[in-house]
């Protein structure tokens, strides 16, 4: 539909608008008469608008309005008891207003329409984030309504520097998208780059932010996520304070944060409760992340080509368990990993009441049955189980997916070349990560020496005085707590007593 301007003739406007909403039973064309002679038309979607406010905020005041007042410029938008009234001059904007739940009023003799902010529809309540659980921290998540998500963000970041410009993405069904950033921290070049990439998206419909993520990333053929997706408001707020930009999409609870950084996927909100617990948790995540990627391949390589690396007693035990197994270690590992991935996928697709039971019971039954039938060895079942536990240590689900997928080609390389293939595959992954960029920012770099204080370890909060994001406009944080002198601290303690 082109940007046709509205006509002062009400009948001409209705002749062009009514065919667009033909066979739409939920779209209401309500004719009105002002002072018995002036005709008007109120158009709205009954399931997307607040009908009670339409009644007392629009219909009732119009019934007592005079003809001269209705045709006076600026009188309707300043008189009707509606919080937000927008004047629209184009037909396309009027149609989009109706489809968004905001009623429009057409008055005969006026070449513009009045859009009233009375959109209201049922929405999911704010709940705990199912995929990013924490023991200590906020237990709230975004929902599928953009206005509610922006309000949640406003409640957490109470600053006039928080900007939320909106635009629409989608050729057939335009989807509202909001770019959220702190004006005093985010660089204007980054904000403009995000806006330009969103405006360049040529797609019929954006159902979920995952579709948008694939269209915005620098390297679309990479397995690794290049934008951080989260449904936690506290995570979005912390990244905004680092100078990053968040993308809110209507219809999805997941918010995209750009640029993405490898170390951001390893961090968890609970890391900032205690520096010792945070440091230990991060070390464990790095360790088990390597285990999730390389443990099956290392087992295949060592048992196939490098038996001299295994202690004699353990080697004899492994050899004894492999006497009745007809497959080599590589085929055995591939079968077990494929079966576990199938169980994991089945557990996700089944209802919650039976999904966990099927995945746990299925793994136990199939594993024990495979051992009893002589198809796999007990050490291989243990390796696969440790690998599965290690993959669950990664806080963000998006980062665990590439590790699960890359596990298979590394196993194939290890089965053909031994440890040489394992090292070769791992080196290729590291080189790929080092060469990646997200919105022009290096993906796998520490960005500055101070970043070590909040990436590999979790330093005390007093030492985290600089923003880790290289492109932040203001590098130094404000309001850092200063340590009191010993004498002053003693006087305070004495005074409290």
Between 481 and 440, where is the model more confident? 440
Between 201 and 472, where is the model more confident? 201
Q: Is the bond preceding residue 124 a cis peptide, omega within 30 degrees?
A: no
DSSP-derived secondary structure letter, 73? T
pLDDT at 408 over 70: yes
pLDDT range class, residue 495, cuts 50, 70, 90? very low
pLDDT range class, residue 353, cuts 50, 70, 90? low
Would you state the structure tokens that stand for residue 476, as one six-digit string? 């130094």
Q: Quote the crossing angle between the two packed helices 378-391 and 329-349, to the nearest 10°.
A: 40
- Please list, in sequence order, all residues whose beta carbon lies within 8 angstroms of the beta carbon of residue 384, skipping any fewer than 6 positions away: 296, 333, 336, 337, 340
Would you state the structure tokens that stand for residue 419, as one six-digit string? 């440890």
- Please list, in sequence order, all residues whose beta carbon lies within 8 angstroms of the beta carbon of residue 381, skipping any fewer than 6 positions away: 336, 367, 370, 371
Digit-coded pLDDT (tens) for 50-80:
888 888 889 888 888 888 888 888 888 888 8
pLDDT at 212 over 80: yes
- Please list, in sequence order, all residues whose beta carbon lies within 8 angstroms of the beta carbon of residue 445, skipping any fewer than 6 positions away: 434
Average of per-residue pLDDT across 37-46:
91
Digit-coded pLDDT (tens) for 139-193:
888 998 888 899 999 999 988 899 999 998 988 888 899 999 998 888 888 999 9
pLDDT range class, residue 138, cuts 50, 70, 90? confident
Note the pLDDT of residue 479. 54
pLDDT at 292 over 90: yes
- From 424, 432, 315, 435, select the one nearest 377 (Cα to Cα): 315
Tell me how far CA of residue 126 lies from CA of 118, 123, 138, 246, 493, in angstroms.
21, 9, 12, 19, 42
Average pLDDT score, the chain:
84
Cα–Cα distance between 342 and 316 in angstroms, integer? 32
Q: What is the pTM of this model?
A: 0.81
Note the pLDDT of residue 491. 45
**DSSP-derived 3-state class of residue 433:** helix
Q: How many residues does the chain have?
A: 497
Note the pLDDT of residue 492. 44
**In three state form, how does the secondary structure of 444-471 look?**
CCCCCHHHHHHCCCCCCHHHCCECCCCC
Note the pLDDT of residue 483. 52
Helix boundaries (H) for 375-479: 378-391, 397-417, 419-435
Average of per-residue pLDDT across 359-363:
65
Backbone angles phi, psi at 401, to 5 degrees: -65, -50
pLDDT at 424 over 80: yes
Note the pLDDT of residue 489. 44
| Percentage of residues in the chain having pLDDT higher than 70 | 88
Between 290 and 469, where is the model more confident? 290
Note the pLDDT of residue 1. 45
Q: For the ranges 52-61, 414-423, 474-483, which has the lowest average pLDDT? A: 474-483
Note the pLDDT of residue 372. 78
């Amino acid at each position: 539909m082109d940007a046709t301007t509205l006509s002062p003739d009400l009948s001409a406007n209705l002749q062009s608008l009514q065919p667009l909403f033909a066979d739409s039973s939920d779209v209401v064309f309500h004719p009105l008469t002002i002072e018995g002679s002036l005709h008007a038309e109120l158009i709205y979607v009954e399931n997307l608008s607040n009908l009670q406010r339409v009644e007392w905020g629009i219909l009732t005041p119009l019934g007592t309005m005079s003809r001269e007042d209705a045709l006076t410029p600026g009188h309707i938008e300043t008189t009707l008891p509606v919080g937000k009234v927008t004047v629209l001059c184009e037909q396309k904007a009027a149609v989009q207003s109706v489809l968004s739940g905001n009623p429009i009023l057409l008055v005969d003799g006026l070449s513009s329409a009045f859009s009233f902010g009375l959109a209201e529809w049922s929405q999911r309540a704010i709940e705990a984030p199912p995929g990013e659980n924490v023991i200590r921290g906020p237990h709230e998540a975004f929902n599928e309504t953009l206005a509610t998500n922006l309000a949640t963000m406003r409640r957490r970041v109470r600053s006039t520097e928080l900007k939320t410009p909106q635009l629409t993405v989608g050729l057939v069904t335009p989807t509202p998208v909001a770019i959220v950033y702190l004006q005093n921290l985010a660089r204007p070049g980054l904000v403009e780059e995000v806006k330009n990439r969103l405006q360049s998206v040529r797609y019929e419909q954006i159902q979920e932010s995952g579709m948008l993520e694939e269209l915005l990333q620098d390297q679309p053929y990479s397995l690794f996520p290049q934008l951080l997706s989260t449904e936690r408001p506290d995570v979005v707020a912390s990244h905004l304070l680092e100078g990053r930009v968040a993308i809110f999409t209507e219809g999805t609870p997941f918010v995209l944060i750009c640029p993405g950084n490898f170390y951001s996927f390893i961090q968890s909100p609970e890391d900032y409760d205690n520096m010792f617990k945070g440091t230990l948790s991060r070390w464990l995540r790095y360790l088990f992340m390597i285990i999730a990627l390389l443990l099956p391949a290392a087992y295949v390589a060592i048992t196939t080509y490098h038996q001299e690396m295994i202690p004699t007693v353990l080697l004899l035990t492994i050899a004894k368990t492999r006497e009745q197994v007809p497959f080599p270690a590589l085929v055995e590992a591939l079968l077990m990993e494929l079966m576990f991935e199938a169980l994991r996928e089945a557990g996700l697709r089944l209802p919650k009441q039976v999904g966990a039971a099927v995945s746990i019971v299925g793994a136990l039954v199939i594993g024990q049955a495979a051992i009893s039938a002589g198809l796999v060895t007990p050490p291989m079942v243990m390796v696969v189980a440790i690998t599965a536990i290690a993959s669950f240590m990664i806080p963000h689900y998006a980062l665990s997916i590439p590790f699960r997928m890359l596990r298979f080609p590394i196993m194939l390389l290890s089965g053909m070349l031994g440890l040489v293939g394992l090292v070769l595959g791992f080196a290729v992954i590291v080189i790929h990560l080092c060469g990646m960029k997200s919105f022009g920012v290096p993906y796998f770099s520490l960005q500055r020496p101070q970043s070590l204080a909040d990436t590999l370890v979790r330093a005390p909060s007093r030492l985290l005085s600089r923003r880790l994001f290289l492109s932040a406009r203001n590098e130094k944080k404000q309001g850092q707590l200063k340590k009191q002198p010993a004498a002053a601290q003693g006087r305070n303690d004495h005074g409290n007593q």
